[in-house]
Each structure stands twice: as structure tokens, then as C-alpha cells.
């Protein structure tokens, strides 16, 4: 039901007269911009706001909390923005980030741009300064034309000037964020809007409960048949599952399609667990074999961007860095313009993944022939070899710890707690975790995404805990942690079940670099040696652990999961462990060394 939180506006004399007579009250019901915004969000199923109070939205955060919204207040807007964006990914509802004007807005903007890049639905709501002064550039407090700045970085951007338009502004923002390819939306709310009074009934009528915000998009029958035929005639078919497939929440049908067709699949990082990583048809451990060898590749919610070497070049068996490897591609995606962006797409299937996959499932009938046995055997051989090699490395117990011996522990803990959310960022800390730690359920792995951005760690962890209520395990490089480390206070303040494991090797990539001049300054790539990150958590009442062995790490993680207390484990890794930029060393213009 609609629930306009009306402010009671009574003249003092009227109130006094009523009090005196104790007779029936004549009140004029009014609402205002604050309450209309809160009601518009609530009516559309928004229950949480991630943000940071300040001028002009301080009172909004108070009133939102008073009205029953959960308001999670951060130490820096960027982290609130990342939290909102990943809440959007997890729930298919736009995650809301609320910031102050100019600098607060800009701090949130990185996360908004990242959300757009990653196709996460999010709305950044920022208060802004007085329009008349901003537009004449007369030098207002935190003066900035925020709408103009947000536009190129967002999927859509809107400004509301009149309280009666808040309902429409919120409705447009929600539709833009979640329909079609999801993305980041900016909503500009000037300070003057909030106290604007509106008659309560008019206000109530101005609100919109958005009907069918992300309408199904049914693929054409012809496109489905074209794709299925191509797959059926393939000698070496491969399915690639991306985070769009994870987002779609079509888990059972995606699994059924893989299993019914018998086609091996490769999960992109955030699609890990969509089917359990231990699934027989997972080709993750044979990645560099299947990409060049496959003859037909079906992408489901994955783009042929840098993470897939643009679908061409040596990774795909091409003769030179830009040469096509000869594969035919099927692309299942909601965006009709995604196809042909890097290589030819022979069979685009445009629609929402749920509808596309269920249509394909129907087309795969009892006459379906599974892929040739020699393809499956060849993959299994590569896979078994890599898995055995990995098992051997994981079994070692070097002193000091390295990434493998520490992550062998994380792997066991995640296996024992498959509902736990895993957040992961860093370079080596990211790459090793991705290939060592198996995921068992969909949308449990949250990581640096399309940009490979550092700084998502604590924002994602907080949202993961708030949205899912599950234990969160954040595996962080020591450098990556630094971008959002202050949010451990937020984690403690809300008493969230977050266990942070810092794989600490004293620097960016590794910790043993020296200043080549012999000067007093350290290398730009190293940090304070033996930094005691765990004390940061202790400072706010959480549990801090300094772990130098896998056994100590295991005990600390088990205790964190048991107690659900905020925990930071400073896992000391050999400072010589780590490669520049991890598995993407080749992207460094000069340092091509491995
Ligand atoms: C994978 N592998 C495994 C397993 N899973 N071996 C054994 N067991 C298991 N379970 C193997 C896989 O076959 C590869 O070996 C290797 O491990 C690496 O697999 P991965 O990670 O899937 O492959 P790769 O080549 O690293 O993937 C490319 C990529 C990925 C671009 C998709 O690197 C990625 O997502 N990178 C994001 C990086 C990022 O954003 N970094 C931020 C850095 S910040 P082979 O088959 O033998 O090759 C600034 O520096
Ligand atoms: P990854 O990084 O895992 O490869 P990408 O972010 O590159 O994944 O690709 C995700 C793709 O999924 C995007 O092209 C996006 O348009 C698409 N997508 C997102 N949500 C849906 C959906 N519900 N239905 C169909 N496609 C979707």
C-alpha cells in the first residue's frame, strides 16, 4: 500500500486551540521532498541505502532510518557506491548510494562508472548545490554541474527540481538501471528540493510503483534455432558463462542446458559457482587448451572484451595477435549492439538470459547428440593434469607461507561453508584465489570485474553481508585492502560477519623491490615491512589475528566463521611471492617480464 509519510503542518494557534478544546483536530496534511523520496524508494521495494551523510542529505539519512529503511553509513562514498552496485548485482534491484554534493558525488562517481561498465544496476543519488548559483558559476558551496559530469559515465542521468516530480524521477531511474542491459544511473537532487512542501494527497498521487521494471525480452525463434543448429553441428563446442549469466538468476535452466547438451563450459570469474566448480563439464582448469581448440563457442552473458582477449589472437589460436582463430560464435545477450563488437558473431541470440536459455532448452530435444567423445576426453586429460599439478603445489608447506599454502586453507574453508560470500581483489591475490578456491553456488564470488578495479573489497564485503546475511570471506592483496581499509570501522559498527584475509607480502605485487638509486625513499612498489593490519580491526573492537602458518590461518578462519565476529587475519606471505600484475603482466607497456 502507498504510505506517504506526511508531515503535519499545524499553525501554532490552531494547535493551541485544539489542545485547549480537546475537540476534533483540523490539520492540513503536507509532505515534502524528503518524505516523497523515501516513500518513492520504499514503494519500489528498496529497503537499504548505502551512503555517507553531510550537506544537504544529512536529514534525509535520519528520516530514511526513521521510516524503516536500512541506512548503512560509510567512511568514504566510493565504498558506499561499490556496496550499492554489488547489492544491485546480487538482487536485480538497483542498489542505492547516497552522497553529498561535488566531492562526495565525485567520490561516488567512480563506483557508478564501474557499475555501468559491469552492467550492475545502481542509482547514485547526490544532493547538489543551488542551481541558480551553479549555472551562473557564482561560487556556491560545493558548486558543480553534477548532472553534466555524470552523464557520460552513467547509463542515464536525471535531475529533479520539483517535489511533485520525485516519483517520476525515481521511476525513471529504476527503469533505466534494471531494464535491458543494467547499469548505473545518476539522480541529481538539489538541496532546495528536500524541504519543498506538497499537499499530501498530491504527493501520494505523484508517486509511481514501477510495473515490470525489467521486462522479459523474448528471443526470436529463428535466432534460437540458428544457435542450436550451430551448436549441434560443432565438433568441439564450448560454452562460456559470464557474470551476466550469474546476474540473470536463471541458475537451474543454465545448469540444465549445460548438462542436457553435454557441452563443456568455462566460467568467467564472477560466474564461478553458477554450476559447482567441481562439475565434470567445467573446463576451467583447461582454459588455455579449450579456447584455441573449440570450433563453436557460445557466450552466455559474457563479452568478448580484454578478459577474453577480444575473441581473437593467440589465446584463440589466431596466427598473430589480432588474427581470428577460426571459431564460430553464438552470443546470448540482452544488448542487441554487443554482437560483432570484436569478432563476427554467427548466431546472436538477443533477449534476457532466462528467456533465451529456456527457449534453447526446449529446442534441445531427445534427438540431441552430445559432443564427440574425443573432445571431452582431450579436455578431461588437460584438466586432470592441471588439477593434479595444482594439488601437488597446494600440498607444500613452505616457510614463510606463499599464496598457494595460504589459499589451500581458504579453499577448504569455502568448501566447508558453500553459502559464504567470497570477495576477492588484488593482483596475485586475485589470480591465485580465482584458480585455487572452488565455488559451489551462484553469485557467491564477487570480484574486481570488467575493469579489474582495486578498492571494491570492503564495500562489496559490507553489501554482501547486509544483503545476504551470510558469512563473508574477503581475500585481499595488501595493496588492494589499502583502498578501502578504513571501512573496517563500518564492519565493526554494524557488527557484520566479515572475515578479511590479507595476503600480506609487503607491497604492490611483491615486497622485495628496492630504490635503484640507493636513496632513502623506498621503491614505489613497497609498503612498511611487517605492517600489522590486524590492529586496525582491533582498534574498532573486532578480532585481529597475525597468522604466519597455514595452521594459524585455518584456526583463525574457523573461529571467524563460528563466531561471525568481524575478523581481520594478517596472513604473512613470502615477500618474494608474486608476479608483476599477476597473470596480466603482458599488459604493462614496458615490463613484459613474467
Ligand atoms: C584454472 N586453472 C586451474 C584451475 N582453474 N588449474 C587447476 N585447477 C583449477 N581449479 C588454470 C587454468 O587452466 C589456467 O591455466 C590458469 O589456471 C589460470 O586460469 P584463469 O585464471 O582462468 O586464466 P587466465 O589466463 O589468468 O585468465 C585470463 C583472465 C584472468 C584475463 C580472464 O586473468 C582474469 O580474470 N583476470 C583479471 C585480472 C585483473 O583484473 N587483475 C587486476 C589486477 S590489478 P592454463 O590453462 O594452463 O593457462 C593491477 O595489476
Ligand atoms: P564477464 O566479465 O563475466 O565476461 P561481462 O560483464 O563481460 O561478463 O558480460 C555481461 C553481459 O551480460 C553483458 O554483455 C550484458 O549485456 C549481459 N547481461 C546482463 N544481464 C543480462 C540479462 N539479464 N540477460 C541477458 N544478458 C544480460
Choose among 319, 317, 354, 120: nearest CA to 238: 317
Choose among 319, 170, 300, 171: nearest CA to 247: 300
**Residue with CA at minimum distance from ligand 1 atom 39:** 452
C-alpha 401/C-alpha 574 separation (Å) is 6
C-alpha 400/C-alpha 22 separation (Å) is 78
C-alpha 264/C-alpha 163 separation (Å) is 54
Asked if 73 and 496 count as a contact pair (C-beta separation under 8 A), the reply is no
Q: Which residues have C-beta within 8 Å of that of residue 77, sequence separation ≥ 6?
A: 51, 52, 97, 99, 100, 104, 105, 107, 108, 111
* Distances, alpha carbon 230 to alpha carbons 212, 364, 586, in Å: 33, 12, 34
Distance 68 CA to ligand 2 centre (A): 33
Specify the ligand 2 atom closest to the Cα of 268. Answer: 3
Burial of 8 (0-12, 13-18, 19+ CB in 10 A): exposed
**Which DSSP string corresponds to 134-161?**
HHTT---TT---HHHHHGGGSSEEEE--
Q: Report residue 445 CA to chain centroid gap.
A: 9
User: Edge to edge, what strands does the sheet with 328-333 contain?
Assistant: 265-267, 237-241, 296-300, 328-333, 347-350
Q: Which residues contact ligand 2 via a Cβ below 6 A?
A: 118-119, 181-182, 242-244, 247-248, 268, 270-271, 301-303, 305, 307, 333-335, 338, 352-353, 450
Distance 88 CA to ligand 2 centre (A): 14
C-alpha 478/C-alpha 501 separation (Å) is 9
Write down the pLDDT at residue 6.
45
Residue 30 has pLDDT above 70, yes or no: yes
Count of helix runs (H) and strand runs (E) in the chain: 22, 20
Any idea which of 196-210, 258-272, 285-299, 578-592 has the lowest mean pLDDT?
578-592
Write down the pLDDT at residue 366.
86
Residue 2 has pLDDT above 50, yes or no: no
Helix (H) or strand (E) holding 521: none
Mean per-residue pLDDT of the chain: 95
Distance 338 CA to ligand 2 centre (A): 10
* Distances, alpha carbon 484 to alpha carbons 419, 446, 543, in Å: 24, 15, 18
C-alpha 175/C-alpha 172 separation (Å) is 5
Q: Averaged over 466-480, what is the pLDDT?
A: 98
C-alpha 416/C-alpha 552 separation (Å) is 17
Distance 257 CA to ligand 1 centre (A): 25
Specify the ligand 1 atom closest to the Cα of 438. Answer: 10
Give residue-wise pLDDT tens across range 384-436: 999 999 999 999 999 999 999 999 999 999 999 999 999 999 999 999 999 99
Q: Which residues have C-beta within 8 Å of that of residue 263, sequence separation ≥ 6?
A: 231, 237, 238, 239, 281, 298, 371
The answer to whether the bond into 135 is cis (omega within 30° of 0) is no
Asked if 570 and 502 count as a contact pair (C-beta separation under 8 A), the reply is yes
- Higher pLDDT pick, 36 / 7: 36
Regarding the beta carbon of 525 and ligand 1, being less than 6 Å apart is answered no
Give residue-wise pLDDT tens across range 46-92: 999 999 999 999 999 999 999 999 999 999 999 999 999 999 999 99
Write down the pLDDT at residue 212.
98
pLDDT bracket for residue 14 (50, 70, 90): very low
Distance 269 CA to ligand 2 centre (A): 13
Q: β-pairing, 7-9 with 445-447?
A: unpaired
Q: Which residues have C-beta within 8 Å of that of residue 368, sequence separation ≥ 6?
A: 232, 260, 261
Regarding the beta carbon of 386 and ligand 1, being less than 6 Å apart is answered yes
- Report the sign of the C-alpha dihedral through residues 57, 62, 65, 66, in that order: negative
C-alpha 220/C-alpha 224 separation (Å) is 7
Residue 13 has pLDDT above 80, yes or no: no
Distance 243 CA to ligand 2 centre (A): 6
Write down the pLDDT at residue 194.
98
Amino acid at each position: 500500500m502507498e504510505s506517504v509519510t506526511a508531515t503535519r503542518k499545524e499553525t501554532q494557534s490552531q494547535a493551541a486551540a485544539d489542545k485547549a478544546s480537546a475537540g476534533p483536530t483540523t490539520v492540513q496534511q503536507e509532505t515534502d521532498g524528503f518524505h516523497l523520496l523515501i516513500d518513492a524508494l520504499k514503494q519500489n521495494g528498496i529497503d537499504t541505502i548505502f551512503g555517507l551523510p553531510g550537506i544537504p542529505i544529512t536529514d534525509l539519512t535520519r528520516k530514511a532510518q526513521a521510516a524503516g529503511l536500512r541506512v548503512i553509513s560509510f567512511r568514504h562514498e566510493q565504498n558506499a557506491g561499490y556496496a550499492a552496485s554489488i547489492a544491485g548485482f546480487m538482487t536485480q534491484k538497483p542498489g542505492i548510494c547516497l552522497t553529498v554534493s561535488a566531492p562526495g558525488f565525485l567520490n561516488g562517481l567512480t563506483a557508478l562508472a564501474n557499475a555501468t561498465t559491469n552492467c550492475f544496476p545502481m542509482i547514485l543519488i547526490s544532493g547538489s548545490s543551488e542551481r541558480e548559483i551553479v549555472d551562473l558559476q557564482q561560487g556556491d558551496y560545493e558548486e558543480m554541474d553534477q548532472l553534466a559530469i555524470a552523464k557520460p559515465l552513467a547509463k542515464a542521468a536525471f535531475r529533479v527540481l520539483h517535489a511533485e516530480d520525485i516519483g517520476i524521477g525515481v521511476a525513471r531511474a529504476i527503469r533505466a538501471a534494471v531494464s535491458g542491459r543494467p547499469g548505473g544511473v545518476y539522480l541529481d537532487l538539489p538541496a532546495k528540493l528536500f524541504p519543498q512542501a506538497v499537499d499530501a494527497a498530491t504527493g501520494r498521487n505523484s508517486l509511481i510503483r514501477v510495473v515490470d521494471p525489467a521486462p522479459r525480452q523474448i528471443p526470436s525463434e529463428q535466432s534460437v534455432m540458428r544457435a542450436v543448429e550451430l551448436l549441434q553441428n560443432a565438433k568441439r563446442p564450448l560454452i562460456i558463462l559470464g557474470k551476466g549469466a550469474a546476474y540473470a538468476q536463471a541458475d537451474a535452466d543454465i545448469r540444465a542446458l549445460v548438462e542436457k547438451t553435454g557441452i563443456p563450459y568455462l566460467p568467467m570469474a564472477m560466474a564461478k559457482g553458477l554450476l559447482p566448480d567441481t562439475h565434470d563439464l567445467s573446463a576451467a582448469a583447461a582454459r588455455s587448451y579449450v579456447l584455441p581448440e573449440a570450433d563453436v563457442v557460445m557466450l552466455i552473458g559474457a563479452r568478448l572484451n580484454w578478459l577474453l582477449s577480444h575473441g581473437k589472437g593467440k589465446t584463440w589460436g589466431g596466427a598473430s595477435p589480432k588474427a581470428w582463430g577460426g571459431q564460430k560464435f553464438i552470443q546470448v545477450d540482452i544488448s542487441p549492439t554487443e554482437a560483432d563488437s570484436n569478432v563476427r558473431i554467427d548466431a546472436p541470440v538477443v533477449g534476457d538470459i532466462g528467456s533465451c536459455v529456456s527457449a534453447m532448452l526446449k529446442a534441445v530435444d531427445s534427438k540431441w547428440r552430445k559432443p564427440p567423445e574425443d573432445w571431452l576426453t582431450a579436455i578431461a586429460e588437460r584438466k586432470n593434469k592441471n588439477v593434479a599439478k595444482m594439488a601437488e603445489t597446494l600440498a607444500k608447506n613452505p616457510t614463510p607461507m606463499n599464496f598457494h599454502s595460504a589459499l589451500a586453507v581458504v579453499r577448504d574453508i569455502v568448501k566447508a561453508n558453500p553459502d559464504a560470500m567470497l570477495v576477492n581483489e588484488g593482483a596475485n591475490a586475485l589470480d591465485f584465489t580465482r584458480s585455487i578456491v572452488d565455488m559451489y553456488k551462484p553469485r557467491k564470488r564477487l570480484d574486481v570485474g570488467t575493469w579489474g578495479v582495486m578498492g571494491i573489497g570492503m564495500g562489496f564485503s559490507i553489501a554482501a553481508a547486509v544483503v545476504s546475511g551470510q558469512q563473508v570471506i574477503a581475500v585481499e592483496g595488501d595493496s588492494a585492502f589499502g583502498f578501502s581499509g578504513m571501512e573496517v570501522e563500518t564492519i565493526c559498527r554494524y557488527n557484520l560477519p566479515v572475515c578479511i584475509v590479507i595476503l600480506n607480502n609487503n607491497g604492490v605485487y611483491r615486497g622485495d623491490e628496492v630504490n635503484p638509486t640507493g636513496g632513502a625513499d623506498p621503491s614505489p612498489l613497497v609498503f612498511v615491512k611487517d605492517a600489522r593490519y590486524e590492529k586496525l580491526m582491533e582498534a574498532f573492537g573486532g578480532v585481529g589475528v597475525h597468522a604466519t602458518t597455514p595452521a594459524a590461518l585455518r584456526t583463525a578462519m574457523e573461529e571467524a566463521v563460528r563466531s561471525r565476529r568481524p575478523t581481520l587475519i594478517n596472513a604473512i606471505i613470502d615477500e618474494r611471492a608474486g608476479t608483476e600484475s599477476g597473470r596480466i603482466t603482458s599488459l604493462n607497456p614496458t615490463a613484459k617480464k613474467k
